[in-house]
Amino acid sequence: MAAMERLRKKGIKLTPQRLAILEYLEGNTAHPTAEDVHAAVRKRHPTMSHATVYNTLRTLRDHGEVLELTIDPGRKHYDPNTQPHHHIICVGCGSIADVFQDFDVSIPEELDREYEILGSQIEFHGLCRDCRGKTGG
Ligand SMILES: [Zn+2]
Ligand SMILES: [Zn+2]
């Protein structure tokens, strides 16, 4: 697992609990919240605390192994896919999906001169198929 190797090389201690969190996140495209991660890993690690999950997610974020998404104003979501991509959130149920299309985004010239642009993220808001069904649309 690539993330584990990189963390080991950085001297990050990989406890069984941290490994369980990493394993859960690996290839996960559901953009789980910390609560989702906790609920999932607690099944096999009943003593896993909220604090361990939060601290581990923060460590992974700080080391660039997980993206912390703020598209949902209520809760942070986590994404193990750290390649630049965009997201769409359903305003009905809060589900988040990846948007892998490239958009030609440019900013005004004066800002471009002032800043070295490192990246950009586009957030789409919509209603998913399920939520549209519920409202009869
Ligand atoms: Zn929805
Ligand atoms: Zn994503």
- Domains belonging to the chain, first-starting first, are 2-79 (1.10.10.10), 86-134 (3.30.1490.190)
**Any long-range contacts for 129-137 (C-beta under 8 Å, 24+ apart)?**
130/92, 130/93, 131/90, 131/92, 131/93, 134/92, 135/92
Query: pTM here?
Result: 0.87
Query: When comparing pLDDT for 35 and 4, which is higher?
Result: 35
Q: How far is the CA of 71 from the centre of ligand 2 (A)?
A: 11
Q: How far is the CA of 26 from the centre of ligand 1 (A)?
A: 24
Q: How far is the CA of 81 from the centre of ligand 1 (A)?
A: 22
- From residue 31, alpha-carbon distances to 4, 14, 27, 39, 133 in Å are 19, 22, 10, 14, 23
Q: How far is the CA of 82 from the centre of ligand 2 (A)?
A: 8
Q: Contact, 77 vs 95, CB < 8 A?
A: no
Q: How far is the CA of 98 from the centre of ligand 1 (A)?
A: 14
Give the pLDDT confidence score for residue 60 in this predicted structure: 95
Q: How far is the CA of 38 from the centre of ligand 1 (A)?
A: 22
Q: How far is the CA of 41 from the centre of ligand 2 (A)?
A: 20
Give me the mean pLDDT over the 8-37 stretch. 94
Q: How far is the CA of 30 from the centre of ligand 2 (A)?
A: 8
Banded pLDDT at 135 (limits 50, 70, 90): low
Q: Output the average pLDDT for the chain.
A: 92
